[in-house]
């Protein structure tokens, strides 16, 4: 389906509908496909699920130059889809987790879930040696607002710490170029979020072996909002797809049953 010119995947409930709909927001280089397992999981629990492709990703709302897209445009995209759905629960991964933080600030969702989220201004984003090294290697794209495309070796080092080796190449080949301007906004200037305006229940989830948003950084994100924090052992940045993702999804579902307004 299409909402505000954006491609949106919808999964209808497979049992009698229960609870509010959920909007899933992907991270850098990603797309709605990253949420396929989660859409099926929650649809099986009676939840109507949506996952959008941000502009410039997988044919969604084409842009002339993905390198120049600011972070604020991605917030606009997710906000438009959320408004069309009707104030859904928000779930974001990585950069998508920062988008959800902004939506929680400017709106009033029933609940927000941040999975290995990017950090807002005030929490140092480049907090691991590997991520700092990658940022230096792609400084030209970040400071020049050019598309960023990681090599397989870079993605393997940062993203796929707990992805089975035989699945890594296929996952990498589905990644798309990302905005250097967006990376500048997040990593250099920082994205401000006023925690006083975030009133919804919030759950924050970290992977103990994450090399992009390590648990110590994610704990600071949770503390900023006074949110509940879960740290999962034997998981890394892509915990939404790694073996054992079902346990994390089940924990999120149980939390939503209890806490979502």
Of the options 3.80.10.10, 3.90.180.10, 3.40.980.10, 3.40.50.1820, the CATH number for the domain spanning 2-259: 3.40.50.1820
pLDDT of residue 132: 78
The sign of the torsion formed by the CA atoms of 117, 199, 191, 91 equals positive
Q: pTM, whole model, 2 decimals?
A: 0.96
2-3/6-11 β-pairing: antiparallel
First to last CA, the chain: 27
Sketch the domain layout of the chain as residue ranges: 2-259
Q: Residues 242-261, buried b or exposed e (16+ Cβ, 10 A)?
A: beebeebbeebbebbeeebe
pLDDT of residue 77: 98
The sign of the torsion formed by the CA atoms of 99, 198, 109, 249 equals positive
pLDDT of residue 18: 81
Q: How far apart are CA 231 and CA 186, in angstroms?
A: 23
Which residues of the chain form beta strands (DSSP E)? 2-3, 6-11, 22-25, 49-52, 89-93, 112-115, 202-207, 228-232
pLDDT of residue 241: 95
What would the pLDDT profile of 132-172 be if each residue is shown by its tens digit?
778 888 999 999 999 999 999 999 989 998 999 999 999 99
pLDDT of residue 133: 79
Q: How far apart are CA 46 and CA 40, in angstroms?
A: 10
pLDDT beneath 50: ranges in the chain: none
Which burial class, exposed, middle or buried, applies to 157 when counting CB atoms under 10 A from its CB (0-12, 13-18, 19+)?
Answer: middle
Which of helix, strand or coil describes residue 141?
helix
């Amino acid at each position: 389906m299409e909402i505000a010119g954006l491609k949106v995947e919808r999964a209808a409930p497979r049992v009698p509908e229960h609870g509010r709909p959920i909007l899933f927001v992907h991270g850098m280089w990603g797309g709605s496909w990253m949420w396929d397992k989660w859409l099926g999981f929650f649809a099986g629990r009676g939840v109507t699920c949506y996952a959008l492709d941000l502009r410039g990703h997988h044919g969604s709302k084409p842009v002339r130059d993905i390198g120049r897209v600011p972070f604020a445009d991605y917030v606009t995209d997710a906000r438009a889809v959320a408004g069309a759905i009707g104030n859904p629960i928000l779930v974001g991964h990585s950069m998508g987790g920062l988008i959800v933080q902004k939506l929680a600030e400017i709106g009033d969702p029933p609940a927000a879930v941040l999975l290995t989220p990017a950090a807002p201004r005030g929490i140092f984003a480049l907090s691991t040696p590997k991520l700092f090294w990658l940022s230096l290697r792609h400084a030209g794209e970040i400071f020049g607002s050019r598309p960023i495309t990681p090599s397989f070796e870079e993605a393997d080092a940062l993203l796929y710490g707990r992805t089975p080796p035989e699945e890594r190449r296929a996952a990498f080949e589905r990644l798309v170029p990302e905005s250097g301007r967006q990376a500048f906004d997040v990593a250099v200037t920082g994205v401000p979020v006023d925690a006083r305006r975030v009133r919804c229940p919030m759950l924050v989830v970290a992977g103990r072996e994450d090399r992009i948003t390590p648990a110590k950084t994610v704990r600071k994100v949770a503390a900023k909002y006074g949110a509940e924090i879960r740290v999962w052992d034997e998981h890394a940045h892509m915990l939404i797809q790694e073996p054992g993702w079902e346990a994390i999804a089940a924990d999120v579902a149980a939390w939503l049953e209890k806490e979502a307004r």
